[in-house]
Amino acid sequence: MSIADRIRRNPLYSLKMHAAAIATGLRYLFAKPRMTVRYPEYVIDLGRNYRGMIRLHKDKCISCSLCAQVCPASAMKMYKLPGEKKMYPGINYQRCIFCGFCVDICPVNALEHTPVHDIAEEDMEGMIYLPLPGRFDREWKSPAEEEGGRKVKVEFDEEEGLKHEPE
């Protein structure tokens, strides 16, 4: 039986699951090892090879559509926007699994992963990035960093969990 069916049959089941989730959160708030940093005060430096939000360099794109063809999640599609002569890719982050196939296959390096992942949109439509100025070609920045969060390199310690300097 699916979780949705269980909730339909017994609304108390939903309450029980929420209570269990809150209890888990509270347990890890105090328990060690801790696998988080104090975000947004600290932001983990994910390194150059992290597969985060993708940036399109439209000036390099040759409209070959390989990125859209290789995408296993149908997240990347080609769009011909008004006033454009060629098609360019756009990405739907509702579907993207950050596999990086599109970046790897691009013959002219027009797609680039960035180490930014802490992005939220207000609605589902906002998660679709068309090849418009300031959208798919935007220079991604972590909102936490923009508001003064400090980038830190972390190490894993068996006892303590994630550690970084300064604490």
Q: Is 53 in the site for ligand SF4 (CB under 6 A)?
A: no
Integer Cα distance of 47 and 153 in angstroms: 9
Six-digit token string for 105: 């296959």
Range 67-126, binding ligand SF4 (CB under 6 A): 67, 70-71, 73, 75-76, 89, 91, 96-102, 105-106, 108, 110-111
The residue among 59 and 125 lying less far from ligand SF4, judged by its C-beta, is 59
Among 37, 44, 53, 61, binds ligand SF4 (CB under 6 A): 61
Residue 152 interacts with ligand SF4 (CB under 6 A): yes or no: no
Shortest CB 140 distance to ligand SF4, Å = 14
**Beta bridge pairs of residue 88:** 79
Instruction: Work out the number of other CB atoms within 10 angstroms of the CB of residue 66.
Output: 19
Q: What's the residue count for the chain?
A: 167
Token pair 């992942």: residue: 117
Cα–Cα dist 95/84, whole Å: 25
Task: Tell the smallest beta-carbon distance from residue 128 to ligand SF4 (Å).
Answer: 12
- Tokens for 162, please give them: 């994630």
Return residues touching ligand SF4 (CB under 6 A): 61-67, 70-71, 73, 75-76, 89, 91, 96-102, 105-106, 108, 110-111
